[in-house]
Amino acid sequence: MSAYESLPPHGPNGSIEVIAGPMFSGKTEELLRRVRRAVIAKQSVQVFKPERDDRYAKLEVVSHDDTRMQAVPVVDSAALEASVTNEDVIGIDEVQFFDAGIIDVCNRLADRGIRVVAAGLDLDYRGRPFGPMPLLMAHAEYVSKLHAVCCETGGRAHFSFRTSEGNGTIQLGGTDEYKALCRDVYNKVYVREHTRRENAD
């Protein structure tokens, strides 16, 4: 029996919501919108982010359009769980950067009756499922798939293409290092860029 099969059923009030999509699709903005509505409803809220993501601010979650909210930076899923007290709603930004333990943590929090709202990239720059996202989406009661605008065609973008050098899966950046592309353009550009980098090595 796997760790996931041994988990108890979800509590009556807890749930997991995942907001997924490419870069520049408004994931963080949507996360903050849902959390702010919970605040308006007078619910107790806490937002978390991976400690490594300090692109815009250390103690805030910041969207690309500069929407901000105070957040607690944590080093891993265990630290996140240890920081949760009696909140009604937990927000987690950039959840793809967390270790695999985040899946069990989110399930345990939901089983306690907490509404867990997590936002993250579903695919990395190679177009492959990113970290814990596939399993987290499978465990979630609600999954929202957002799309960006393709910077080449103006159509619906589903892929994040890295324009800078580097082969590591995790490489923080913004519009200076990434752009959102639709499937057709991504396939053409990725093959061309991959071939160029292979020839340069």
CA distance 127 to 184: 13
Residue whose C-alpha is closest to residue 132's, from 102, 93, 169, 171: 102
Q: Are 46 and 72 in contact (CB under 8 A)?
A: yes
DSSP 23: T
Sequence-distant (6+) residues with CB within 8 A of 142 are 15, 16, 17, 18
Residue positions annotated with a catalytic role: 94
Q: Which helix (H) or strand (E) holds 195?
A: helix 183-200
Q: How far apart are CA 194 and CA 201, in angstroms?
A: 11
